[in-house]
Amino acid sequence: MKKGKFTSELIAPCGMNCGICKGYIAFTHRLPKVRGKTTYCAGCLPRQKNCYIKRGCKKLTKHEVKFCYECAEMPCKHLEHLYSRYREHYGMSMVENLKMIKTKGMSGFLKSLQQRYLCPRCGDVVCVHDGKCYGCNFLQKKP
């Protein structure tokens, strides 16, 4: 199993695990770039750039909070936009992820991610965006 995809270092302030994101998977698997389709990303926190959520949040920018669940205004308009898009298209809720981090802690959250996104065939990661394991080409059925 590639443990590096289920670590706290890859959990973005919005509750997204960059390790299950197609951009991060393309980066780590060195997938060939396809114009307009393949985006490489080293993860929101590892690349140390302002992500979509951080750019729109003064509390995150000023390091007053580390995760959106620490803010009384959660979900803000930026998180709400991501939340609704991911919930509708990918069956994942960043708000639920954040609530789980808050209630079960980071280790409990990471265990739940492993249960949902660990490839049953090869132990690599199943992508949240297309349900594919890029380690063995296993395709997970959508729930």
Q: Is residue 129 part of a domain?
A: no
DSSP state for residue 24 in the 8-state scheme: H
Q: Which two tokens stand for residue 18?
A: 């960059």
- Tell me if 94 sits within 8 A of 86, measured CB to CB: yes
Maximal CA-CA distance, the chain: 43
Total number of domains constituting the chain: 1
Q: Is residue 123 part of a domain?
A: no
Residue 4 in this model has a pLDDT that exceeds 60: yes
Ramachandran bin of 30, using left for φ above 0, alpha for ψ from -120 to 50, beta for the remaining angles = left
Per-residue pLDDT, 141: 77
**pTM attached to this predicted model:** 0.85
User: Regarding predicted confidence, which is higher, 32 or 2?
Assistant: 32
Structural domain of residue 58, as residue ranges? 3-117
| DSSP H/E element including 86 | helix 77-90
Q: Is residue 104 part of a domain?
A: yes
Q: Is residue 133 part of a domain?
A: no
69-85 confidence digits (pLDDT tens): 999 988 888 888 888 88
Mean pLDDT of all residues in 23-38? 81
User: Regarding predicted confidence, which is higher, 43 or 65?
Assistant: 65
Q: Is residue 137 part of a domain?
A: no
Mean pLDDT of all residues in 102-130? 94
Q: Is residue 107 part of a domain?
A: yes
> What is the sign, positive or negative, of the torsion defined by CA atoms of 103, 109, 115, 117?
positive
Mean pLDDT of all residues in 2-27? 86
Mean pLDDT of all residues in 106-130? 94
Q: Is residue 128 part of a domain?
A: no
Q: Is residue 111 part of a domain?
A: yes
Residue 37 in this model has a pLDDT that exceeds 70: no
Residue 86 in this model has a pLDDT that exceeds 60: yes
